[in-house]
Chain A
Amino acid sequence: MTIEDLSTASPAPIRVSDLVDVDSGVISRDIFVNEQIHKLELEYLFPRAWLFVGHASQVPNPGDFFSSRMGSDPVLMTRDTKGEVYVLLNSCRHRGMRVCRYDEGNTMQFTCPYHAWSYSMDGSLVDVPGDLHGVPHMKSAYHGRLEKEKWGLVRCPRVYNYKGLIFASWDENAPDFLDYVGNFHFWLDNLADAFDGREGETEVFRGVLKWRIRSNWKFVAENFLGDTYHGASTHASVEAVGIGPGGRGKRRHGERQNQGGFSKGRMKTSFRLGHGASDNLDYELPYPEFAEPKLTEYFEHAWDIRAERLRAEGRALGGRGPATLFPNMSFAAGFPRSILVSHPISSTETEVWRWFLVDKDAPDFVRDWLREYYMRYGGPAGMTEQDDMENWDYATQASLGVVARRYPYNYQQGLGEERLSALDGAVHSDHAIAGEVNARAFYRRWAEFVDNMSWPELMNVAAVDDRVSKIMERASEVEA
């Protein structure tokens, strides 16, 4: 064998779109367990997409910081003296040490413990937050020639504050956040707006639940984007016990059944951009009836005001989720109202973070009730979420086998049965409970990113939802 032979002997690059066949609803297990594919998604998906980093209410004052993650990278969300929120790469420019190993706090500067390079976190010591301002032995070691302005903490170039939700992207060429979100923003609005519809009047409770699971991160994203199919079996125990607002013997979420049936509202809304929700905007779901009349009264009032406000704007009242903003920010805008991010650690390991939102001006009795409900519902101690993790973990582990990996997963629910949505860039599933249209769109988008399609191409293919034309074709065939 010649040297030339050796150099070409490396395996052909993986094209993940070959593994994701959304037309026939078949997806290879490899994308959930293969470490090589995981590395590709770390390379081409997470550093390009818009990711949720944290909530502005976590850094209310100048000098406040919150440690977060973006894909494989640790970042710091900071607030400077001017009130701006920044996202900085948490790694020293000299030897890479994490300059901050605290989860949250307030400081003037981040000083690397390794060699004590120090970076201004709020811009008060330098021009811009993250700039390098202190270097030991600056004169003797660098002869004063170190160009400090070039060696500040790497700043995330794209940061967007959407009603308090802080998103960031490492990619200068990424489209604006609003274009990345598209019409899916209605779900984000419901998450970030107060229960009575006032814009952005929410904050997060202090305390982010963080825990490790032996699952691929995509199981988590997929679950919230549209898998209502699992509810009856996975959550049978909480359905039986009744832990929701209505109290014992009531449905988990305490939804009122006066909207033509619970299932109707669970129809999926799927966006070509990869986002998806487990409900649609047309489904009006009033706030639940509570066991305590005082709470019912409070939320009924909030609903009435919201209904009036949104109708005046010509907006629909639905869209509470659960939902997933592509790729890994999942959330629900109702009961509970919560954000979940699935941080990729390896192909078979994920760190899950959960935040809970509350209206800024919620009275104590509402705040206390919601907090206790959130804790018994979600997170690793939550009676509902505990059972999800059992599934995600063992689905991942049982897919690792050599034989198991030869057999793809089935995503054929509702294939060819999509319906038109009134929203551009979206379609609905035709089935109330079972419909994998969201997952198919998510994995198609995922493959487009991981195969490193360029941004112009990514936005071009998403500009026209080819699913809509197929629906029209089918309709005309039926008429003919």
Chain B
Amino acid sequence: MTVTMQNSQPTGLQRVELLSEISEFLYYEADLLDERRYEEWLDLLADDYRYSVPLRMNVMYNDVAEREETKYGSEVCWFDEPKSTVELRVQQLLTGVHWAEEPVSRVSHVVTNLRIVEVSGDEVEVSARFLVYRNRVADETDFFVGRRRDWARRTEQGWKVFRRILHLDQSVLMAKNLSVFL
């Protein structure tokens, strides 16, 4: 059973059902990434998908609201790109000569603390935490951890993510690269 909201915030059981539905979708999406089923994963992203990971900075207390992170849309971010660029990244991974991921890394995406922020028609905004563990070759281990906001849309082909903003909890990236999708 699916729940459809029309400009009203879900309550009670509706909310539980929607959260369960969206959680399952996001966990499935994470599985596809970890299993490197990139083509199937791309199908879960809407055509207007945009992926942004601003830089975090150490700034004074009074500057936090305004300056703690770079502004996607106008400043330098780790990522700030449309679906077409994400597709290029997938193509690069599939060449077999993308040395940053060849041999391939072992990756686990943990998505947790899921909470529905807002429902608007067929669209839902979800707050979450992410933890991406990567181990590659022998002793190379990275943790990418932070907060995440996802916006997903219910379509005839099922749920699609159309906006994702991640706030990585590092100002200096302690990993040598970001060759995995967060």
Contacts and interface: CB of A to CB of B under 8 A. Distances in A.
Contacts of A389: 100, 176-177
B63 interface: yes
A207 B100 contact: no
A372 B88 CA distance: 13
Given A212-B172, A375-B76, A380-B177, A241 B88 contact: yes
B70 A386 contact: no
Contacts of A393: 176
B59 interface: yes
Contacts of A356: 76
Contacts, number: 125
B67 A379 contact: no
A237 B95 contact: yes
Contacts of B13: none
Contacts of A385: 177
Interface string A1-12: 000000000000
B79 A387 contact: no
B178 A380 contact: yes
Given A207-B55, A237-B98, A105 B60 contact: yes
A351 B174 CA distance: 9
A203 to B, nearest CB: 12
Contact of B99 (A205, A375, A391): A391
A375 B91 contact: no
B59 A375 contact: no
Contact of A379 (B78, B99, B101): B78
Interface string A359-374: 0000000010001101
Given A212-B173, A375-B79, A376-B81, A107 B95 contact: no
Interface in A199-215: 205-214
A213 B176 contact: yes
B89 interface: yes
Scoring B54, B59, B70, B88 by chain A CB atoms within 10 A of each residue's CB, the highest score goes to B88
A374 B76 CA distance: 9
Interface string B35-58: 000000000000000000111011
A104 B59 contact: yes
Highest count of chain B CB atoms <10 Å: which of A207, A209, A376: A207
Contact of A102 (B60, B70, B98): B60
Nearest to A204: B76
Nearest to A210: B172
Interface residues of B, number: 40
B63 to A, nearest CB: 6
B175 A211 contact: yes
B7 interface: no
A237 B81 contact: no
A213 B173 CA distance: 9
A15 interface: no
Given A212-B176, A381-B177, A237 B92 contact: yes
Nearest to A376: B85
Nearest to A355: B76
B85 A372 contact: yes
A373 to B, nearest CB: 10
A399 interface: no
B76 A243 contact: no
A8 to B, nearest CB: 41
B9 interface: no
A356 to B, nearest CB: 6
Interface string B89-111: 10110010111110000000000
B92 to A, nearest CB: 5
A371 B81 CA distance: 10
B177 A386 contact: yes
Contacts of A376: 81, 85, 88
Contact of B98 (A209, A214, A387, A391): A387
Given A375-B81, A390-B100, A212 B174 contact: yes
Given A236-B95, A380-B78, A107 B60 contact: yes
A125 interface: no
Contacts of A462: none
A118 to B, nearest CB: 15
Contacts of A236: 95, 97
Nearest to A215: B176
A210 B80 contact: no
B156 interface: no
B77 to A, nearest CB: 6
A240 interface: yes
A387 B102 CA distance: 10
B81 A372 contact: yes
A104 B71 CA distance: 15
Given A205-B75, A380-B176, A389-B177, A104 B95 contact: no
Contact of B70 (A207, A381, A387): A207
A234 interface: yes
B179 interface: yes
A75 B179 CA distance: 31
Contacts of B85: 372, 376
A234 B76 CA distance: 25
Interface of B: 53-55, 57-60, 63, 67, 70-71, 74-81, 85, 88-89, 91-92, 95, 97-101, 137, 171-179
17 contacts: A103-B58, A103-B171, A105-B60, A207-B70, A207-B77, A208-B55, A208-B76, A209-B78, A209-B173, A211-B175, A212-B176, A371-B80, A380-B178, A381-B177, A386-B100, A389-B177, A390-B177
Given A206-B70, A209-B76, 8 more contacts: A102-B60, A103-B57, A103-B171, A207-B54, A371-B75, A380-B175, A387-B100, A390-B100
Interface of A: 101-105, 107, 205-214, 234, 236-238, 240-241, 243, 351, 356, 367, 371-372, 374-376, 379-381, 383, 385-387, 389-391, 393-394
